[in-house]
Amino acid sequence: METEHGIPVGPGIAIGPAFLLEAEGVRIPRHYVSEDEIEGEISRLDEAISEAQDELEALAEHVSKKAGPKVAEIFSAHAAMLRDEYLCQEFRDRIRQKKYAAEFAVAHTMGQWRSAFQEDSFLASRAPDLDDLERRVLLHLLGARREELGTLKTDVILAAHDLRPSQIVTLDPDHVKGIVMDAGGPTGHTAIIASALGIPAVVGLGSVSARLTGGDTVIVDGEKGLVIIGPDEETIKTYRQRRDQAAKTEQTLLAEVRDLPAETKDGHRVDILANIESPREVARAIEHGAEGIGLYRTEFLYLTSESIPSEERHFDAYMEAIEKLDGRPITIRTVDLGGDKFGGVGSPEPERNPFLGRRSIRYCLEHPDLFRDQLRAILRASVHGNVRVMFPMVSGIEELLAVQLILKELQNEFQQAGRAFDHKMQVGMMVEVPSAAVYADALAQYVDFFSIGTNDLIQYTLAIDRTNEHVADMYQPLHPAVLRLLRMTIDAAHNAGIYVSLCGEMGSDIMYALLLLGLGIDELSVAPTWLVPEIKKIIRNVSYKTARDVADEILNMSEVNRAVARLAEVNRDLLPMLFR
C-alpha cells in the first residue's frame, strides 16, 4: 500500500481499478516489463514503427493526388521523422535500459521531445506534429488491445500525466469514477471540470502515473488530496464507510435548504447560481438548488466539436440550457479559448506564454466572423429566456468598447431585419485581469454587471500559472493584494449602481463564503453544484453585519497566514456544523 499526496480538486471518494491514459487519449496498459520480455517488446516496437511508416507513406501519396504535393508534405515529414534512427534508438534504449514497456517508452520519449520543442521558439509550432506521430505509433502498438476512453464498459479510476480540458469534458462520468494526474493546479480547467462533473480527483501528484499499472486498485480521496495505491481490505472498508456517510450528510442538507434563498439572519440576500461547461449540467445544478447559471463557459462547444461551431450549433446549445432553466437566468460568456483551453477546432496556435497571449476576447477580436456567429446566436436566444451576456478577460476600455461595438452592430442588423431579440439583455464583463480591477470604477460605467473571475485574477495578480503544480501552493485567495482588488471591484460596481457576481473557484470554497458575503458580493456562481446547499446554509446562519465585520478585519491583515488562521477560526466559531 502506497499513499501519494496531491492537490484535492474534485469532491468525494472513489475506489476502483486504474486505467492509464497517455497523451492524446491513448491507453497505456502497463509501464514496465521483465528482463526476458525486453527483446519481444523491441520487436513489437519495430513492427509498429514500420506499420506507421507504411501508413504515412500511403497517406502522403493519397493526399498528394487529392490536394497536391504541398499538403502531402506533412505526412512525408512525419514518415521521415520515423526513419530518424536517433529517435527510434531512444525508444529502444528506454526499453533496454529502463525496462519500459514499448508503449510507455514511446509516450515517455515523445513527452520529453515535446517539452524540448515547446521551449524552443523555432520548434514550438511543430510540437503538435509530435502528438500526431506519438498517437499513430501507439495505436499500432496497441492494435487489438486498444480501448478508448469514450467507450468504457466498466468503472475505472483514470490516471494520466496530464489531461486537456477538451479530453476531460467528453468523459463518461458513469464509468470514470475518479481522476489522478501528475500535473495540474487547483484552478486549471481540468480540475474545474472534474469537480463540475462530480468526479473525485487529485492533481499535481508529480509522477503517480508512472508508478501505476493498469488494473491496480486505487483510492482517490478528493477531499484530502490523497491517492492510495494497492490499499488493504481494512483501508478500503474505512473509505467505503466515509463515502457512504458523506453521501447521507449531503442528502440531508439538500433536503433542508434546496428551495430556500441564501438570505442572512438580518435579511440580506445573495443569489447562488452555478457554473457549467455544457447544457447537460443544467439539470444537476437545478436539482441542487442553484437559482440559475452564472457562468456558461461556451468555449467547450469548440473543444468538443469536430468542426467550428456554427451559429446554429451555438443557438441549439443555448436553447437546450434555456429550456431546462425554465425562466431562471443564464449568463452566457463569449468564448474564452486559449490559455489551457486549446486543442479543439479553431484553437489559437500554440504560443510560448498562452495565458498572456491571444486568449479570449483578444482571439475573438482577431476572428470577428466566429465572434459574430456566437453573438447572433445569443441575440436569437435572448428572446426565449432570461439571458445575459458577458465578455471574458477584458483588460481595458478600448477592448470593451470594441466588443460592444460588434454587439451593437448586430443588434442594429437584427432591428433592421425585424428579427426579435431582447433589447434589455444585460451586458456584463468579467473582472479577471488586475488592470480591470484597478480601474473598475471607469469600466463600471459601460456595463450592466461585473463577474469576478478569481481563478485568473489570482493567477495574474500573483504571477502563478494556474495549471502548474509547482506553484500551486502560492495560490492564495486571501493574499492582501487579491482581497484589495476584490474590494475595489465590488465597491466600484456598487458606486456605479451595478451588481457584481463572482464565478471563480474561490466562490466554490466554503471557507471563503462568509468573507465574500461580507465584502458585499451580490451573486455567487459556484461549481460543483453539490456545494450550493452548503453555501446557502452558511449564509442563512449568519448576519450580514457580522460578515461585514469579519471582512473588514481580514482585509486589514497584512499577512496571508494570519488571515487564513483567523478566517478558519471565525468559520469554526460561527458555523460549527460545517467547519470542525
Query: Quick one: which segment of 197-205, 322-330, 448-456, 480-488 binds Mg ion (CB under 5 A)?
Result: 448-456
277 versus 456: smaller Cβ distance to Mg ion: 456
Q: For Cα atoms 292, 168, 231, give the angle at the middle one, nearest 5 degrees.
A: 110
Residues 6+ apart with CB under 8 A from 561: none
The binder of 454, among ligand PEP, Mg ion, none, by C-beta within 5 to 8 A per type, is ligand PEP
**What are the DSSP calls for 146-171, one per residue?**
---GGG--S-EEEEES---HHHHTT-
The binder of 461, among Mg ion, ligand PEP, none, by C-beta within 5 to 8 A per type, is none
Q: Are strands 386-391 and 426-431 parallel, antiparallel or unpaired?
A: parallel
In the complex, minimum distance from the CB of residue 455 to Mg ion, in angstroms, rounded to a whole number: 5
Contact characters 415-444, Mg ion, x per CB under 5 A? -----------------x------------
Round the CA-based radius of gyration of the chain to a whole number and report it: 25
Residue 336 in the binding site for ligand PEP (CB under 6 A): yes
Alpha carbon distance 125, 458 (integer Å): 29
To the query of whether residue 503 is one of the catalytic residues in this protein, the response is yes
Residue 297 in the binding site for ligand PEP (CB under 6 A): yes
53 versus 501: smaller Cβ distance to ligand PEP: 501
Contact 325, 279 (CB under 8 A): no
Which of 291, 456, 469, 505 binds Mg ion (CB under 5 A)? It is 456
Residue 385 in the binding site for Mg ion (CB under 5 A): no
**Which of 523, 538, 580 lies closest to 390 in space, CA to CA?**
523
Query: Quick one: which segment of 450-458, 475-483, 549-557, 562-570 binds ligand PEP (CB under 6 A)?
Result: 450-458
Amino acid at residue number 9 = V
Q: Which three three-digit cell numbers place residue 83?
A: 526513419
4 versus 456: smaller Cβ distance to ligand PEP: 456
**Which of 359, 562, 356 lies closest to 464 in space, CA to CA?**
356
The binder of 504, among ligand PEP, Mg ion, none, by C-beta within 5 to 8 A per type, is ligand PEP
In the complex, minimum distance from the CB of residue 432 to ligand PEP, in angstroms, rounded to a whole number: 5
In the complex, minimum distance from the CB of residue 464 to ligand PEP, in angstroms, rounded to a whole number: 13
| 31-70: contacts with ligand PEP (CB under 6 A) | none
In the complex, minimum distance from the CB of residue 116 to Mg ion, in angstroms, rounded to a whole number: 30
The binder of 134, among Mg ion, ligand PEP, none, by C-beta within 5 to 8 A per type, is none
Which of 338, 453, 518, 520 binds ligand PEP (CB under 6 A)? It is 453
Contact 394, 433 (CB under 8 A): yes
Residues 6+ apart with CB under 8 A from 337: 299, 302, 344, 346, 347, 348, 359, 360, 363
**Which of 115, 181, 188 lies closest to 471 in space, CA to CA?**
188
| 115-174: contacts with ligand PEP (CB under 6 A) | none
Residue 299 in the binding site for Mg ion (CB under 5 A): no
H helices present in 520-559, as ranges: 532-540, 544-555
Angle between helices 102-119 and 38-67 (to 10 degrees): 60
To the query of whether residue 364 is one of the catalytic residues in this protein, the response is no
Residue 504 in the binding site for ligand PEP (CB under 6 A): yes
Residue 455 in the binding site for ligand PEP (CB under 6 A): yes
C-alpha pair distances (Å), 366 with each of 259, 343, 344, 443, 518 = 44, 18, 17, 22, 40
End-to-end CA distance of the chain: 29
Contact characters 414-443, ligand PEP, x per CB under 6 A? ------------------x-----------
60 versus 203: smaller Cβ distance to ligand PEP: 203
Query: Quick one: which segment of 98-106, 110-118, 351-359, 455-463 binds Mg ion (CB under 5 A)?
Result: 455-463
Q: Which three three-digit cell numbers place residue 485?
A: 482588488
Query: Quick one: which segment of 50-58, 196-204, 263-271, 449-457 binds ligand PEP (CB under 6 A)?
Result: 449-457
C-alpha pair distances (Å), 431 with each of 334, 447, 548 = 14, 12, 22
228 versus 295: smaller Cβ distance to Mg ion: 295
**Which of 105, 98, 54 lies closest to 75 in space, CA to CA?**
54
Which of 426, 454, 476, 501 binds ligand PEP (CB under 6 A)? It is 454
Angle between helices 85-98 and 38-67 (to 10 degrees): 150
Binding residue count for ligand PEP, defined by CB under 6 A:
11
360 versus 411: smaller Cβ distance to Mg ion: 360
Query: Quick one: which segment of 225-233, 349-357, 453-461, 463-471 binds Mg ion (CB under 5 A)?
Result: 453-461
3-state secondary structure 209-236: HHHCCCCCEEEEECCCCEEEECCCHHHH
Give the active site residue among 78, 108, 140, 503.
503
In the complex, minimum distance from the CB of residue 439 to ligand PEP, in angstroms, rounded to a whole number: 18
Query: Quick one: which segment of 3-11, 344-352, 452-460, 476-484 binds Mg ion (CB under 5 A)?
Result: 452-460
Contact 325, 303 (CB under 8 A): no
Residue 340 in the binding site for Mg ion (CB under 5 A): no
In the complex, minimum distance from the CB of residue 511 to ligand PEP, in angstroms, rounded to a whole number: 16
Give the active site residue among 31, 140, 189, 288.
189
C-alpha pair distances (Å), 59 with each of 52, 78, 87, 472 = 10, 11, 22, 44
158 versus 303: smaller Cβ distance to ligand PEP: 303
Residue 453 in the binding site for Mg ion (CB under 5 A): yes
Alpha carbon distance 478, 22 (integer Å): 36
Query: Quick one: which segment of 47-55, 414-422, 451-459, 478-486 binds ligand PEP (CB under 6 A)?
Result: 451-459
Which residues are catalytic, by number? 189, 503
Positions touching ligand PEP (CB under 6 A) are 192, 295, 297, 336, 432, 453-456, 503-504
- Applying CB under 5 A, the residues found at the interface with Mg ion are 432, 453, 456
